[in-house]
Structure 1
Amino acid sequence: MGGACSRKRDHQDDVDDFQRGFSRRYSKSGSSKWLATSFTRPVMDIQPDTRNGPSLMDLCIRKICKDINKFKKFSMLPRDISQQIINELVYSGCLTDVSFEGFRDCALQDLYLGECPGVNDSWMDVISSQGSSLLSLDLSGSDVTDNGLIYLQDCKSLQALNFNDCDHISDHGLEHISGLSSLTNLSFRRNSAITAHGISAFASLINLTKLDLEKCPGIHGGLVHLQGLTKLESLNIKWCNSIDDADMKPLSGLTNLKCLQICCSKVTDFGITYLKGLHNLSLLNLEGCPVTAACLDSLAALDGLLYLNLSRCDLTDEGCEKFSRFENLKVINLGFNDITDAFLVHLKGLTNLESLNLDSCKIGDEGLVNLTGLQHLKSLELSDTVVGSGGLRHLSGLINLESINLSFTAVTDSGLRKLSGLLSLKSLNLDTRQITDSGLAALTSLTGLTHLDLFGARITDSGTTYLRSFKDLKSLEICGGGLTDVGIKNIKDLSSLTLLNLSQNCNLTDKTLELISGLTGLISLNVSNSRITNSGLKHLKMLKNLKSLTLESCKVTANEIRKLQMTDLPNLVNFRPGGK
């Protein structure tokens, strides 16, 4: 339980992060899409399993946590019990410096203290008392300083350390962890105080397999200290904008690297030549780097490459015929490049391709004919292209498609009929003003849909009747302004919903909250820019799983939401009211 889960994270996390990328849009006013970056706590790592109801042990643990101030010491308990108690305290947000003192000498294996309020150097003595039992520690977002890291010298068995967003740690502090030779995972994301000199402390961490230095702008020249870390499999130096070609040379000998993320750096085609010997590399993220099609010669040597991100690079149609050599690729992101329909012919032979991102490229209907043979394709991103209804006929045979994004395209209602046979579709984004009720009617055969984005589509109350076909929907966004309370009657029985965004529908009233009060699985709810008032909040009392509530530009005050949070919605961690 608890932090033990964090030690099981592996290459799949890098793949998931890669496929999400950072080009998704969060700018839509009132949209709940901001949630994708709001929840910084990996709650699932420490959340109790409640699928089968609480066990007797769970009930005991919760009782202890409720009465935590009555207990002074837990070291006499079995370690697994103490671990469950502290996990529950963290999950419930009840862990304090006083209650933490009770866990001195408990021989805990995992401490996730990331984002816990008040964590600073005074907590480090209790952490140190866990000694060689401690295997993973997360102090992300804490106020721990360089001096606090001295205490970790007693925790010789540490395997995973997370210091993301720790603003008070600098090169001096890194010296104190240089002796932790058992470390396999180390993360210092978003630290502007670490420099190339500080990276020298990592040279002795010979068992490191995963190192994350994302958004550490001062590390240029420091990668030379990683040359001896031959077990390293994953290196994340995204958004380290000082990194350039010279920093790539020390990586040329890290032949066990499987994942390398260097997006938004100064690395050019020349720098990529240093990577030609990394035959185990399966994931390479070059998003935002000033590379051109000339780098494809070097990349073609990477016979293990499965995931390639060249979004926001300097690609044009010229020279891209070399893409035909990447037959093993499963995922390729080419978004925001100056490529046209002529480019797509070079993808015809990539029959293993499962995910293709062409966001904001100059792709139209004619080029899509080159995708007809990609029978393994599961995900297709065509947002902000000039694809229209005519081009969708080329997609009708891609029977394994699970996700397609057609937002901000020229697709109309008539084109959607060509998608009606894609019965494997789970996620469909139709955020475009041309889509109306008629288009939604054409999709009723897609009963497996779990995510449907109609953010800007012109759906009315009449059109919501077609939503009844999508019984498995987990995420629904309808924000085109055409709904009233009448239309919500066709949404209230979609019991699988966890995210519901109805913002921008200015005619919705408190009746809407009453109607959806039975959607007890909801985690995120957005009804911004509507006529919701404080009086309607009482209907939300049954939504015990709600973590995010957005009611911007409504007649709702923060104080009333806080009252509801205290009495009925204990899991609510983010809310945006309409007033103070």
Structure 2
Amino acid sequence: MGGVCSRKRGHQVNEDGVRIGISGRYCKSGSSKWLLGSPYCKTAAAFQLEGGSCPSLMELCIRKIQKDIDEYSSFYMLPRDVSQQVFDELVSSHCLADGSLEAFRDCALQDICLDDYPGVNDNWMCVISSQGSSLLSVDLSGSDVTDSGMALLRSCSNLQALALNYCDHITENGLKHFSGLQNLMSLSLKRSYAVTAEGMRAISSFTNLLELDIERCSGIHGGFVHLKGLKKLKSLNARYCRCITNSDLKAISELTNLEELQVSCSGITDVGVSYLKDLEKLVLLNLEGCQLTAACLDSISALVALSYLNLSRCGLSDQGCDKLSGLKNLKVLNLAFNNITDACLVNLKGLTNLETLNLDSCRIGDEGLANLAGLLKLKTLELSDTEVGSEGLRHLSGFLNLESVNLSFTLVTDGGLKKLSGLTSLKSLNLDCRQITDAGLAALTSLTGLTHLDLFGARISDSGTHCLRYFKKLQSLEICGGGLTDTGVKNIKDLTSLTLLNLSQNYNLTDKTLELISGLTGLISLNVSNSRITSEGLKHLEPLKNLHSLCLESCKVTAADIQKLRSTALPNLVSSRPE
């Protein structure tokens, strides 16, 4: 299904649509403590004027300092909140360098986020550690800091959050330097070679730790025994650690405060899952890619507090699915890429709190969808690559809260799309189906709230693009079925909310297309691969100052052309594929 222009994105482990990773970090600014939504979010000041409003005096001062940064040797005498904002803004604008960093020595900064910032090495650590007991959070992910540099952090005794993801130069010995950081509550060490079974011994001293992220650490089998004393631990992310086995889960089976556990793509089997039965506070369990059977569902059924459960790619069948019916608190359920049929869906009728259901690549048909009729809180429904057809869509008519539906690679036709016309809350719709044409797009014009529309493999022609004028809120649009010319792009040029536009595979597009979309200044990502666009047309992209990603594969454009465009007009362009 889908035709030669379509692409199937479900062959990789799906990390979208569900809450993944550490739940949050503690960040202190001034006298306020906030629990933020992402592990190590940047707090850089953003001085963009909204609605023509006048900037504050503080904003004007910080702009002036940033402009004249080379004239200052120290910010020691500035109030801490001012020096913190200046630091954050320099990082955000990529203006922080060795020289300007020195001005922040002994400034009592509380948050230093240098995630993937270029040039960070041991030379930076003297200034970072000089913040002393004021420093509460540090993110040095992707840096070249070594064990020697990390040793300097021992003086930052109040550190609460530390991220060292992808730091290839830190070893087991480097972790030992952290033993005195007794206030540490959040530690992230993704793909760290330092985190071996023995290296995890250093983590055992962090008795106040609430969140631990050791995703993609390949040598940790046997190291979970060092976590036994972390009785306050609430979140453990060990995704993609294939070395983890059942004995590792047995070692943490008494961490009864655990609320989130992720061990996807590991060596866990039914036996390992059985060790989790006493974790009564567990609300998130990710077992994606573990080879399980119906027996694991017996153990999972005891975890009645679960609100998120990922069993994708676990080799499950309909057998044992009746155990799911007792998980009344479930809000997110992922059963994708399992050998389940309509018979399994009968057991989901009572899960009335479900907001997200993923059935990608399951053997689900029209009759099975009838069992979902009572799940009126559903916001996201993934039906890609199932046997669902037009007739089955009538069972979705009552889902008035539905915001996202994926019908790619299904049997749905133009006529069936009329049954979606009443779902006015829809924001995202994926119709990567070769059988969808202009008529199907016309049936969707009542869905004026759509912000994402994927018609990658659909056969949309110039004529069909007239319907796009109804979707004024579109932020993401993909039309790649090969039927567009410059004429059709005229109906796209006024969709000023677009940030992503994918028109690849439309061979008849020319430089005129780039001229037409030159007014879409909000674009961040643009793909016009496999078209007749040439180097001459690149001048029309110069107004797109927000463009970060540009794909021009199989066009008459060279890498040198892209480099010239980046250096002269598009400084924010960080990703390009010219040939």
Do the two structures share a fold, i.e. TM-score over 0.5?
A: yes
Q: Is the 8 A contact 2:304 2:326 kept in 1?
A: no
Shift of 1:237: 0.5
Q: Which amino acid aligns with 1:511?
A: K
Q: Is the 8 A contact 1:435 1:457 kept in 2?
A: yes
Partner Cα separation in structure 1 for residue 122 and residue 20 of structure 2: 35
1:294-309 to 2 correspondences below 5 Å: 294-309=295-310
Shift of 1:262: 0.5
Q: Is the 8 A contact 2:44 2:85 kept in 1?
A: no
Q: Percent identity?
A: 68
Partner Cα separation in structure 2 for residue 81 and residue 313 of structure 1: 51
Shift of 1:76: 2.3
Q: Is the counterpart of residue 396 in structure 1 residue 397 in structure 2?
A: yes
SS in 2 for 1:443: coil
Larger mean Cα displacement after TM superposition, 192-201 or 436-445? 192-201
SS in 1 for 2:573: coil
Partner Cα separation in structure 2 for residue 195 and residue 17 of structure 1: 29
Q: Which amino acid aligns with 2:146?
A: T
Q: Give 2:271's aligned residue.
A: 270
1:286-297 to 2 correspondences below 5 Å: 286-297=287-298
Shift of 1:464: 0.5
Q: 1:81 to 1:558 in 2, by over 3 A?
A: farther
Partner Cα separation in structure 2 for residue 505 and residue 63 of structure 1: 48
Q: Give 2:156's aligned residue.
A: 155
Shift of 1:559: 3.1
Q: Is the counterpart of residue 46 in structure 1 residue 52 in structure 2?
A: no
Q: Which amino acid aligns with 1:356?
A: L
Deviations 1:311-335 (A, max 9, x none): 0002111121212112221110000
Deviations 1:462-513 (A, max 9, x none): 1100011111111111111111111111111111111111111111122212
Q: Is the 8 A contact 1:282 1:306 kept in 2?
A: yes
SS in 2 for 1:176: helix
Partner Cα separation in structure 2 for residue 245 and residue 162 of structure 1: 27
SS in 1 for 2:173: helix
SS in 2 for 1:275: coil
Q: Give 2:109's aligned residue.
A: 108
Q: Give 2:337's aligned residue.
A: 336
Q: Is the counterpart of residue 370 in structure 1 residue 363 in structure 2?
A: no
Q: Is the 8 A contact 1:223 1:250 kept in 2?
A: yes
1:500-511 to 2 correspondences below 5 Å: 500-511=501-512
Larger mean Cα displacement after TM superposition, 267-276 or 56-65? 56-65
**What number of residue pairs does the alignment pair up?**
547
Q: 1:87 to 1:216 in 2, by over 3 A?
A: same
Partner Cα separation in structure 2 for residue 371 and residue 18 of structure 1: 19
Q: 1:374 to 1:281 in 2, by over 3 A?
A: same
Deviations 1:167-206 (A, max 9, x none): 1112111100121111111000012342111111111111
Q: Give 1:61's aligned residue.
A: 62
Q: Which amino acid aligns with 2:459?
A: R
Q: Which amino acid aligns with 1:189?
A: K
SS in 2 for 1:404: strand
1:82-97 to 2 correspondences below 5 Å: 82-97=83-98
Q: 1:470 to 1:488 in 2, by over 3 A?
A: same
1:1-16 to 2 correspondences below 5 Å: none
Q: 1:546 to 1:305 in 2, by over 3 A?
A: same
Q: Which amino acid aligns with 1:48?
A: A
Q: Give 1:449's aligned residue.
A: 450
SS in 2 for 1:111: strand
Partner Cα separation in structure 2 for residue 51 and residue 232 of structure 1: 42
Partner Cα separation in structure 2 for residue 436 and residue 569 of structure 1: 36
Q: Give 1:279's aligned residue.
A: 280
| Structure with higher RCO (Cα < 8 A, 6+ apart) | 2
Partner Cα separation in structure 1 for residue 298 and residue 230 of structure 2: 27
Shift of 1:555: 2.1
Q: Give 1:320's aligned residue.
A: 321
Partner Cα separation in structure 1 for residue 578 and residue 244 of structure 2: 42
SS in 1 for 2:252: helix
Q: Give 2:425's aligned residue.
A: 424
Q: 1:298 to 1:183 in 2, by over 3 A?
A: same
Shift of 1:135: 0.9
Q: Give 1:5's aligned residue.
A: none
SS in 2 for 1:537: helix
Q: Give 1:486's aligned residue.
A: 487
Partner Cα separation in structure 2 for residue 341 and residue 51 of structure 1: 53
Partner Cα separation in structure 2 for residue 21 and residue 236 of structure 1: 9
Shift of 1:42: 7.8
Q: Give 1:460's aligned residue.
A: 461
Q: Which amino acid aligns with 1:50?
A: Q
**Which structure 1 residue ranges, 5 or more long, are not aligned?**
1-14, 23-39
Partner Cα separation in structure 2 for residue 545 and residue 203 of structure 1: 45
Q: 1:257 to 1:344 in 2, by over 3 A?
A: same
Q: Is the 8 A contact 1:41 1:114 kept in 2?
A: no
Partner Cα separation in structure 1 for residue 484 and residue 16 of structure 2: 35
Partner Cα separation in structure 2 for residue 146 and residue 213 of structure 1: 18
Partner Cα separation in structure 2 for residue 552 and residue 63 of structure 1: 42
Larger mean Cα displacement after TM superposition, 395-404 or 134-143? 395-404
Q: Give 1:185's aligned residue.
A: 186
Partner Cα separation in structure 2 for residue 124 and residue 262 of structure 1: 33
Q: Is the counterpart of residue 19 in structure 1 residue 12 in structure 2?
A: no
Q: Which amino acid aligns with 2:330?
A: L
Q: Is the 8 A contact 1:75 1:104 kept in 2?
A: yes
Q: Give 2:144's aligned residue.
A: 143
Partner Cα separation in structure 1 for residue 169 and residue 201 of structure 2: 19
Q: Give 1:248's aligned residue.
A: 249
**Which structure is higher in helix share?**
1
CA-atom RMSD, angstroms?
2.0
Partner Cα separation in structure 1 for residue 16 and residue 412 of structure 2: 29
SS in 1 for 2:180: coil
Q: Which amino acid aligns with 2:71?
A: K
Q: Which amino acid aligns with 1:160?
A: A
Q: Give 1:126's aligned residue.
A: 127
Partner Cα separation in structure 2 for residue 87 and residue 509 of structure 1: 42
Partner Cα separation in structure 1 for residue 435 and residue 441 of structure 2: 11
Partner Cα separation in structure 1 for residue 420 and residue 339 of structure 2: 27
SS in 2 for 1:229: coil
Partner Cα separation in structure 2 for residue 391 and residue 55 of structure 1: 56
Larger mean Cα displacement after TM superposition, 327-336 or 72-81? 72-81
Q: Give 2:519's aligned residue.
A: 518
What TM-score, normalized to structure 1?
Answer: 0.91
Shift of 1:353: 1.1
Partner Cα separation in structure 1 for residue 504 and residue 554 of structure 2: 10
Shift of 1:157: 1.0
Q: 1:20 to 1:133 in 2, by over 3 A?
A: closer
Larger mean Cα displacement after TM superposition, 289-298 or 149-158? 289-298
What TM-score, normalized to structure 2?
Answer: 0.91
Q: Is the 8 A contact 2:386 2:410 kept in 1?
A: yes
Q: Give 1:208's aligned residue.
A: 209
SS in 2 for 1:178: helix
Partner Cα separation in structure 1 for residue 226 and residue 157 of structure 2: 22
Q: 1:569 to 1:211 in 2, by over 3 A?
A: same
Partner Cα separation in structure 1 for residue 251 and residue 509 of structure 2: 59
Shift of 1:220: 0.8
Q: Is the 8 A contact 2:404 2:429 kept in 1?
A: yes
Q: 1:110 to 1:21 in 2, by over 3 A?
A: closer
Partner Cα separation in structure 1 for residue 167 and residue 142 of structure 2: 5
Partner Cα separation in structure 2 for residue 64 and residue 403 of structure 1: 45
Shift of 1:17: 6.2
Q: Give 2:30's aligned residue.
A: none
Q: 1:20 to 1:436 in 2, by over 3 A?
A: farther
SS in 1 for 2:482: coil
Q: Which amino acid aligns with 2:347?
A: H
Partner Cα separation in structure 2 for residue 41 and residue 337 of structure 1: 31
